[in-house]
Amino acid sequence: MQVRSKGQVRAFFRLMRIKHDRIEELKGELDALRECKRLAPKAEQGCVFLLAPSQSGKTTAIKYYIEKYLADELIANGLLDPEVDRQEFAENQKKIIHVELSSQSGVKSFASDMLLSLGCLRYSHGTSNTMMQRAYDYFEKHGTELLIIDEAQHVRGILRDEENKSNAARELTASNHTTNSMKLLMIRGVVPILFSGLPEVRDMLMADGQIASRQQGELDFEPLVYTINEHRKMFEEFVKALGRELEAAGLVESASDMFTDQVIECIYEVACGRIGWAARLIERGCEVAIGYKTKLQVPHLEIATDEFAIRNGLVDQNPFCKLLRSVRAPKGRGR
């Protein structure tokens, strides 16, 4: 499909999935959690941490795993139509339940989030205990092999019946109640868990001895470091693969000519080593190009850096300015 409008650009980037080495590492850990659940369905289960700053590619990697690896597995076993729409499949399947926690999540909202993802129409009805039991029943009914708790930093809140405590103490107490509900899912053999969120979640999770003792791995999705060869190669391959997708969609004339080593290094600098931010920067550059009624060029990334990165405080300098002498300005009318 040829992309010709800003809305199409945004949809294109939301649906785009690009494989990289860290997704392979994620696959190994999630495959192991799911296999253990299948082989020992009633035994205690474990958990894995995926904790990194925002825009590090965590949620997109999870979606890639479900849409690609889980779908391929079910197709190979004759359980899924090979022509299925992958995004629609991901939304409707119940083998892996992907829960994005509500803000200030307590036990009841956690149970509600799970029930909603499990397809329960009464996801907000009942007490915390009855809702958790209902979630247990749905996990068993659907043969769920993995629970992904995304935005795990939202595990916090205030218990109304403890007004005599300080806000900090009440928030910690509520967090403990919620993490207790999470660890019971593993202790009772209901489902293994992938905890995904910001790095500060680690201390809260590891402070609970039951969760810490069941932690079976931690995935590295921290920002890539350009001076480390392996990291630089991963970032370069990601941007070049993205460029090929843009070329196929008619958003760039030639991916190899556009995404040179110097341009990729500038993208890295603006994105601070985060592939999610790199994709957002290029997306914004494509929108700028659409506004000029042309295809993506370096000056569009320079404008996008000013409007996206510098304005939002991600960086304070624009590295693309150094490249503008060798790249002609965009043609066409202004936006």
Q: What is the pLDDT of residue 169?
A: 42
Q: Please, what CATH class does the domain formed by 17-219 belong to?
A: alpha beta
Q: pTM value?
A: 0.87
H-type alpha helices, the chain: 6-15, 21-39, 58-64, 71-76, 86-92, 107-117, 128-142, 167-187, 201-206, 209-214, 229-248, 255-258, 261-271, 275-291, 298-304
Would you write out the chain's pLDDT as a tens digit for each of its 335 residues? 688 899 999 999 999 999 999 999 999 999 999 999 999 999 999 999 999 999 999 999 999 999 999 999 999 999 999 999 999 999 999 999 999 998 777 899 999 999 999 999 999 999 999 999 999 999 999 999 999 999 999 885 323 333 444 444 444 444 578 889 999 999 999 999 999 999 999 998 998 999 999 999 999 999 999 999 999 999 999 999 999 999 999 999 999 999 999 999 999 999 999 999 999 999 999 999 999 999 999 999 999 999 999 998 989 999 999 877 655 545 554 55
Give the integer Cα–Cα distance in Å for 49 and 56: 14
Residue type, 247: E
Give the integer Cα–Cα distance in Å for 185 and 142: 15
The segment(s) of the chain belonging to CATH 3.40.50.300 are 17-219
Q: Quick one: tokens of 196?
A: 């995904």
Strand partners, 51: 197
Q: What is the pLDDT of residue 324?
A: 76
